[in-house]
Amino acid sequence: MEWVSSYEASWKGPMPRNNRSTDAMALSVLLDRTLLTLSAATTAILFAWLLYYSSCGFRLSGEGFYLNSIANPFAYTINSPPTLFGFVYHWPYQWVGGDIAVLRMANVTLTMTLGWILSFLMIRRLWTAGWPHAAVLSAGIAGLALVQFSTWLLTPGYYALTFQSLLIVMIGLLLPDRPGRIRQVLGWILVGVGGWCCFMARPSTAAAIALLVVLYVVVLRRKSLLPMLGAALVALTLLIVTAYLIDGGITGLVNRMVNSADFEILLGARHEVSFMFRIDWLETSPGQLAMAVLMAIALLLSILMGSRHKLFLSLALAGVLIVTIATVLLGTDPISIKLTTLFLVPAFACLGAMFWRERLILCAQTPTSIALTLIFLVLPHLSALGSNLNYWFAGSMAALFWMLALVAFLSPLAQQGRSVAALLPLTVLAQGLTASVINAAILKPWNQVKDLRAYTAVTHLPGGGKLVLPQPLHDYLATARAQARAAGLEIGTPAVDLSGRSPGVLYVLETRALGLPWLVGPHDSNPAHFGQPWPIVPHTGSNVAAVVALGLESCADLAKAWVLIEPEGPHRLDQASIMASFGAHPTDYVVAAAFETPINDGHDRDAYRQSLLKPVRPAVLAEQSCHEARRQRPDR
């Protein structure tokens, strides 16, 4: 019986403490796994949610411009704004057969995948989480990449290409930190490819990111100068090949970009160099400031003090994830996050972390973490460099970078072996912010009818694709197409849009828009609009710019071109003067179709009469008149 007594004595001694410690550790692991599983499910729902609604909505102005640019980029000798994104997306557009819904889903998938890879590399570089945990956490953080579609413009354009390019460049910079020669070579190749893509999207941003890469390499990797030159060679090679494919050589591409920049000045689109380097005001409200402060405090408390109240914290995070899923499935918007809040939360969190425990996090920073924090903080503004929108608003569509700056700044916590516990609250916060922003975009898509969920009209578009649209927009497009076909409009016929705002109609009619993919019309020039989240750029030179753009087209095409007009429209171009520039007169056309524009909940709150004009003069006479009009123009 002695062994029994000794066993009981030992059991009554130190064993309870060990058991409690083991039970607490097991409970902590169980809670983390449960939260990680719930977080992974939330990420999947967010992504599937956006894909599901990718076939909903269509914006006649911006999206029409994107589609005309992508469908036939070689038709234009200048680009307004100076961007070559249409050439990059032209072949993917052809691969999907012109199906807009598939093209949108591919754009969303590519953006999410690149954001996921970059977030994963960041966590594996600066934190100590194992790859399964890092995969789940990085996927949740990468959901903020979907904020790129906060205006519900899912068709790929130059904003999307700029963001994707910066993601590729940063992935390329982080890959060489991983062991293996292949990863290092691949990383620098990606830097070159990303730099080329960035030039194709926005040359001003490409110049800025090139300078940023040089500074990063010189400061942190002095032995990486040769690989950096290799990346520059990759970008230069791609650029030379592109120049020969587009314009037959470097000289042609340079002339295209110079002429495009001059055209922007003529148009009055505020893309001048003097307007490019500016400091915009961060538009916010006391309510959004208070919300950002509370979120930052809650985030820091859950990260820095969560180990003391593990069960309570886990329940709170689970509650946030459940609310996030409810936001997706039910369409509620309990917190109404504004885009500027996506900067304020990481900024306040970084500021608060600087003063925690005698500035422990600040003092424990490494050169790499400091450099990455600063780079990610400025990347959103660099992505907007050259835009005529408010830089804070345009940059907020790349809000993932601001969150990754916080990931880099808090990385000293990884030294304490708390990677998963520290990153889980940050991941949950990113998912909640993403759900709120995307849900707001679905409920109130910019310049479209409210609530995509209420759209029911299935509309057939060029390429065999289908979009689900509100009934008024569907009826408008169906009427325009039916009347145009009945009047004899054939696919590929040249057309001139003088409405100033309806390039999407020409795309749906499958015509070739002359002059530019979008002959933008004059807008409200009230200076009070400038600096606001959606500034109304005046385009004071719209009519003169339209004359110049059409002057680059052949008289043969202009002679047989149909014309879309909107006589009472708010952004109409001057019909008489523009027609006179190519030797035409309103009496040379007859009305082949007439329809009213749809009303939406954005800027187009009134219906206007549009007419599609068919030329009736013999093409030979019209062409001769065009040549004569051009000879008489002293400013040609």
Query: Which pLDDT value is given to residue 27?
Result: 63
The mean pLDDT of the chain is 88
Indicate if the pLDDT at residue 322 is higher than 70.
yes
Q: How far apart are CA 208 and CA 524, in angstroms?
A: 31
pLDDT tens digit sequence for 132-190: 899 999 999 999 999 999 999 999 999 999 999 999 999 999 998 767 788 889 999 99
Question: Do 403 and 336 share a structural domain?
Answer: yes
What percentage of the chain carries pLDDT values higher than 90? 67
Query: In the structure, what pLDDT confidence band is assigned to residue 21 with cuts at 50, 70 and 90?
Result: low
Asked whether residue 154 falls in the same domain as residue 209, the answer is yes
- How confident is residue 568, by pLDDT bands cut at 50, 70 and 90? very high
| Mean pLDDT of all residues in 533-538 | 56
Mark whether 352 and 489 lie in a shared domain. no
The pLDDT of residue 356 is 77
Q: What is the pLDDT of residues 139-155, one digit of tens each?
A: 999 999 999 999 999 99
Instruction: Give a yes or no: residue 282 inside a domain.
Output: yes
In this predicted structure, the answer to whether residue 541 has a pLDDT above a threshold of 90 is: no
416 and 467 assigned to the same domain? no
Residues 166 and 205 in one domain: yes
pLDDT average, residue stretch 545-570: 95
Separation between Cα atoms, residue 402 and residue 373, nearest integer Å: 9
**Number of Cβ within a 10 Å radius of residue 438:** 22
Q: How large is the C-alpha radius of gyration of the chain?
A: 28
Alpha carbon distances (Å) from 175 to 118, 170, 235, 373: 9, 9, 18, 17
Residue 360 has what pLDDT? Answer: 73
Instruction: Give 444-453 pLDDT, tens digit per residue.
Output: 898 899 999 9
- What pLDDT, on a 0 to 100 scale, did the predictor assign at position 532? 41
* Shared domain check, 179 and 254: yes
Overall average pLDDT of the 586-597 stretch: 94
In a domain, residue 449? The reply is no
* pLDDT band per the 50, 70, 90 thresholds, residue 85: very high
pLDDT surpasses 60 at 560: yes
Residue 11 lies in a domain: no
The residue out of 443, 471, 500 marking a domain boundary is 443
Alpha helices in 516-593 (DSSP H): 542-551, 555-559, 575-581
pLDDT 10s digits, 292-309 = 999 999 999 888 776 667
What pLDDT was estimated at residue 307?
A: 63
Pairing of strands 512-513, 562-565: unpaired
Residue 8: predicted pLDDT: 39
> What does the block give as tokens for 396?
């907020």
Inter-axis angle of helices 225-247 and 203-220, nearest 10: 170
Question: Are 141 and 198 spatial neighbours (Cβ–Cβ below 8 Å)?
Answer: no
Taking residues 197-222, report their average pLDDT. Answer: 90
pLDDT at 436: 92
Instruction: Name the pLDDT band for 340 (thresholds 50, 70, 90).
Output: confident
Distances (CA, A) of 495 to 445, 507, 510, 519: 29, 10, 10, 11
pLDDT at 409: 94
The per-residue pLDDT for 9 is 41
**Among 380, 409, 443, residue at a domain's last position:** 443
Q: Based on the fold, state whether residues 138 and 199 are members of the same structural domain.
A: yes
Rounded to whole angstroms, the Cα distance separating 555 from 308 reads: 77
Average pLDDT value for residue range 393-397: 92
Task: Collect all residues with Cβ–Cβ distance below 8 Å to 298 and sequence separation of at least 6.
Answer: none
* CA–CA dist 98, 475 (Å, integer): 22
Indicate whether 341 and 423 sit together in one domain. Answer: yes
Q: What does the pLDDT read at residue 534?
A: 46
Q: Of residues 310 and 216, which shows the higher confidence score?
A: 216
My answer on whether 483 and 438 are in the same domain is: no
- pLDDT score of 148: 95
Most confident of 18-32, 119-133, 211-225, 547-561: 547-561
pLDDT of the residue at 13: 44
pLDDT at residue 635 greater than cutoff 70? no
Does 526 score more than 50 pLDDT? Answer: no
pLDDT at 303: 85
Query: How many secondary structure helices (H) and strands (E) does the chain include?
Result: 26, 7
In a domain, 492, yes or no: yes
pLDDT at 516: 96
Burial class (CB in 10 A: 0-12, 13-18, 19+), 125: middle
Domain termination site, one of 376, 411, 443: 443
246-261, pLDDT tens digit by residue?
A: 999 999 999 999 999 9
Q: What percent of the chain has pLDDT over 70?
A: 90
563 assigned to some structural domain:
yes
pLDDT above 60: residue 23:
no
pLDDT, average across residues 601-630: 90
Same domain? For 410 and 480 the reply is no
The domain tally of the chain equals 2
pLDDT single digits (tens) 486-507:
999 999 999 999 999 999 999 9
22 is a domain residue: no
Residue 60 domain flag? no
Q: Which residue did the predictor score with more confidence, 476 or 275? A: 476
Structural domain span for residue 376: 35-45+84-443
- Which is nearest to 582 in space by CA: 557, 564, 613? 557
Burial of 381 per CB tally in 10 Å (0-12, 13-18, 19+): buried
Same domain, 439 and 463: no
The pLDDT assigned to 14 comes to 46
CA atoms within 13 A on the CB side of 357: 10
Q: Which residues are within 8 A (CB) of 98 and not within 5 positions of it... i.e. 6 or more apart?
A: 71, 462, 463, 464, 465
Specify if 509 maps to a domain: yes
Query: Are 397 and 541 within one domain?
Result: no
What is the four-CA torsion angle of 96, 102, 108, 112, rounded to 10 degrees?
-70
DSSP-based three-state secondary structure for 565: strand
Residue 392's pLDDT is what? 92
Q: What pLDDT sits at residue 177?
A: 73
pTM metric for this prediction:
0.92
**Per-residue confidence (pLDDT) for residue 7, from 0 to 100:** 34
